């Protein structure tokens, strides 16, 4: 898995690419996400448009990020869910936990 | 064993998440060769990754020197995949329900639930030398 990240105004946008299955690559996403939260960034969007699939480790990373940022009075949102990721979130009922948008722009707009 | 080893339709890896991609590449290659569609390949790959992670952490207690074996077979109209570790086994049903409201925000505990949701059958067998979980998916 590769990871691109950028900050647009005060919003962090993380773009993992590939498969999130565990191991060092998954740790990369986890650590980057938590680094930004520790820098007191309160708005995070994870663009999942280039994630082929993820397993429960990937879901755990998303939940960990969501919990931590909410404890810091922030919010984490998802964008561009692929069919496979959407399916997994539905199976695990996490679709009721995360706000998800069809595009980065819509996710950014939702923070206003 | 320090590196993955492939023999026919079987891959063996040391108990480390470093080798998850090796299992995935091997598995997906075999499935494509069997003509499995991409969506089903993804479901199987997700499930196998869950089982391999469980084998690493729970079966082999992250002991790198212990081996995990993944064997893939086509049986009639199904694919049958066996993931074997050197551990003493577990109860397939003795896992908290991850979609219970009390468990929804937990960071762990979804692996087997996902496997059972995506696969057509999940069975387990424990012997004196280890535990094998067999998943089946119609193709």
Q: How many domains does chain B have?
A: 1
Are B107 and A60 within 8 A, CB to CB? yes
- B122 CB within 8 Å of a chain A CB: no
Torsion, Cα of B53, B105, A107, A3 (10° steps): -30
Please name the member of B21, B109, B117 whose beta carbon is closest to the beta carbon of A91.
B117
Q: In this complex, is the C-beta atom of B20 within 8 Å of any C-beta atom belonging to chain A? A: yes
β-pair partners for A1: none
The pLDDT > 90 percentage for chain A reads 94
Give the residue on B whose Cα is nearest the Cα of A95: B104
Instruction: Give the Cα-Cα-Cα angle A24, A1, A35 (nearest 5 degrees).
Output: 60
Q: Mind listing the pLDDT tens digit for each residue in A13-22?
A: 999 999 999 9
CATH code for the domain in which residue B66 is found: 3.30.565.10
Identify the domain containing residue B92 by its residue range. Answer: 5-138
8-state DSSP, A1: -
Q: Which residues of A touch B113 (CB under 8 A)?
A: 91-92
Per residue in A63-90, pLDDT (tens digit) is 999 999 999 999 999 999 999 999 999 9
- Domain around A97: 2-110
Mean pLDDT computed over A49-70? 96
8 Å CB contact of B18 and A24: yes
Q: What is the pLDDT of residue A3?
A: 95
State the CATH number of the domain containing residue A9: 3.30.750.24
Q: Output the pTM of the full model.
A: 0.95
Helix, strand, coil content of chain B in percent (nearest 5): 35, 30, 40
Q: What percent of chain A has pLDDT over 70?
A: 100
Strand, helix or coil for residue A21: coil
Chain A positions touching B49 (Cβ under 8 A) are: 21-22, 55
**What is the reported pLDDT for B87?**
87
Specify the number of domains making up chain A. Answer: 1
> Which of A64, A92, A96 has its CB closest to that of B114?
A92
pLDDT on residue A57: 96
Is the CB of B111 less than 8 angstroms away from the CB of A56?
A: yes
| CA A75 – CA B20 distance, rounded (Å) | 31
Q: pLDDT tens digit string along B37-61?
A: 999 999 999 999 999 999 999 999 9
**Closest-CA distance of chain A to residue B116, Å:** 11
The pLDDT, as a whole number, for residue B138 is 97
pLDDT along chain B (139 residues), means of 10: 94 97 98 96 98 95 94 96 90 82 91 97 92 96
């Amino acid at each position: 898995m590769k990871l691109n990240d950028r900050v647009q105004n005060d919003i962090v946008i993380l773009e993992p690419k590939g498969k999130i299955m565990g191991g060092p690559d998954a740790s990369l996403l986890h650590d980057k996400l938590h680094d930004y939260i520790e820098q007191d960034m309160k708005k995070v969007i994870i663009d999942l448009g280039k994630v082929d699939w993820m397993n429960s480790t990937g879901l755990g990373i998303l939940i960990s990020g969501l919990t931590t940022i909410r404890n810091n009075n922030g919010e984490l949102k998802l964008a561009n869910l692929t069919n496979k990721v959407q399916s997994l979130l539905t199976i695990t009922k996490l679709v009721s936990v995360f706000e998800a948008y069809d595009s980065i722009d819509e996710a950014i707009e939702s923070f206003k | 064993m320090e590196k993955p080893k492939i023999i026919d339709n079987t891959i063996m890896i040391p108990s480390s998440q470093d080798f998850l991609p090796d299992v995935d590449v091997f598995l997906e290659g075999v499935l494509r060769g069997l003509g499995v569609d991409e969506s089903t390949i993804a479901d199987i790959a997700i499930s196998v990754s869950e089982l391999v992670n469980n084998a690493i952490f729970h079966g082999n207690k992250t002991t790198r020197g212990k081996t995990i074996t993944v064997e893939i077979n086509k049986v009639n109209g199904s694919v049958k995949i066996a993931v074997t570790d050197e551990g003493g086994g577990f109860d397939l049903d003795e896992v908290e329900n991850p979609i219970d409201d009390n468990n929804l925000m937990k960071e762990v505990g979804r692996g087997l639930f996902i496997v059972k949701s995506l696969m057509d059958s999940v069975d387990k067998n424990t012997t004196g030398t280890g535990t094998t979980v067999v998943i089946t998916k119609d193709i």
